[in-house]
Amino acid sequence: MIHVDNITFSYDKETVLDELSFTELEPVITGLWGRNGSGKTTLMKLLAGYEEPEHGKIEIQGKRPYNNAEAVQNVCYMQEEHPFSSIWNVHDALRFGKYFNPNWDQEMSERLLKTFRLDRKKKITKLSTGMKSALQFIIGICSNAEITILDEPVNGLDAGMRKKMYKVLRESHEENPRLILLTSHHIGEIQSIFEKIIVIKDGNIVFHELMDETREKGIWLSGNKDKLEEKISAEKILEHETMGSTMKVMLDAHYSKEWKEFAHSNGLSIEKAELQDYLLNMTEEEEEMSI
């Protein structure tokens, strides 16, 4: 479905993507996560054919997307701040979605207008941030594009509306499996619907793997400082806190039976790190971490 081979891209001579590669062949819901400035938005634009890589190759369903109408008819990319016409209302935006997406689901679009309480006559410029996000999501999910890219689809939505969106996303994908690539700052909340995750840092891939694998990564150990220093000296330490004779450390390790037994036998406490904390530490600027 998507094949990205060693691509490089720069803005004003500043490298944004640096020999980045990945391949995704399965119709799965995949999270794209990275800090601001990591290159996520640039990567999405390249996949949608908005830009051309300086070096390397991108293929969507075996075709290069840049300046290729045949390739991008299989792609629907909804940006976080999608550039709708200033004179359009909600109905105009949906007509736009239907015109450019051959697999458009009109019945679903009508239903989701009611779900998200959108007035089809309302000018897009008058919509709140959350309501504009809902409109962009409706277009993306109703496109039924083989590759659907949603940038921050829950931006501005309250918890209730986000819950509805996750339900629609899951049900639509079950009914019509396709590759859905999405970003979200609500990673702890939305990760339950991800089947895979791509983590990007400084224009390159940190890891691309099954979400079940990532969920088990990152553990906190706490206890006597001297004992901890002795036992974990060979481990990759992501974060540590010290208070008197007590220390707490986050390790890049799986929350496994072996680590639980290790903690118990050494009089240490163990707990699973929050996913967002783990990802933040994995994408922190490189520095020598010691205790």
Q: What is the pLDDT of residues 94-124, one digit of tens each?
A: 999 999 999 999 999 999 999 999 999 999 9
CATH number of the structural domain spanning residue 94:
3.40.50.300
Note down the domain range covering 243.
217-283
Query: If you search the block for the tokens 């989701």, which residue do you land on?
Result: 112
pLDDT, residue 233, reads 83
Query: If you search the block for the tokens 């799986």, which residue do you land on?
Result: 254
Contact status, residue 98 vs residue 144, Cβ threshold 8 Å: no
The mean of the pLDDT values for the chain is 94
Q: Write phi, then psi, for 77 (nearest 5 degrees).
A: -115, 115
Which among 198, 213, 228 is the end of a domain?
213
- 246 is a domain residue: yes
- C-alpha angle with apex 29: 236 to 10, nearest 5 degrees? 65
Please determine, for residue 140, whether its predicted confidence score (pLDDT) is greater than 70.
yes
> How many whole angstroms separate alpha carbon 200 and alpha carbon 196?
13
Please determine, for residue 290, whether its predicted confidence score (pLDDT) is greater than 70.
no
> Mind listing the pLDDT tens digit for each residue in 175-207?
999 999 999 988 999 999 999 999 999 999 999
Please determine, for residue 234, whether its predicted confidence score (pLDDT) is greater than 90.
no
% of the chain residues with pLDDT over 90: 90
> How many whole angstroms separate alpha carbon 46 and alpha carbon 200?
15
285 or 7, which is more confident: 7
- 290 is a domain residue: no
Claim to verify: residue 61 and residue 158 sit in the same structural domain: yes
Please determine, for residue 71, whether its predicted confidence score (pLDDT) is greater than 80.
yes
Claim to verify: residue 48 and residue 173 sit in the same structural domain: yes
Work out the pLDDT band at 289, boundaries 50, 70, 90.
Answer: low
Give the containing element (helix H, strand E) for 291. Answer: none
Kindly report the number of other CB atoms within 10 A of residue 83's CB atom.
6
Claim to verify: residue 152 and residue 272 sit in the same structural domain: no
pLDDT, residue 98, reads 96
By C-alpha distance, which of 252, 145, 134 is closest to 199? Answer: 252
Claim to verify: residue 100 and residue 36 sit in the same structural domain: yes
Kindly report the number of other CB atoms within 10 A of residue 18's CB atom.
15
Which among 192, 213, 234 is the end of a domain?
213
Please determine, for residue 287, whether its predicted confidence score (pLDDT) is greater than 70.
no
**Considering its fold, how many domains does the chain have in total?**
2
> Mind listing the pLDDT tens digit for each residue in 23-44?
999 999 999 999 999 999 999 9
Q: Helices marked H in the chain — which ranges?
A: 40-47, 69-72, 90-100, 106-115, 129-142, 159-175, 187-190, 211-215, 225-231, 257-265, 275-282
By C-alpha distance, which of 207, 214, 172 is closest to 192? Answer: 214
pLDDT, residue 227, reads 85
Which among 157, 178, 213 is the end of a domain?
213
- Mean of the pLDDT values across residues 71-96? 95
Please determine, for residue 286, whether its predicted confidence score (pLDDT) is greater than 80.
no
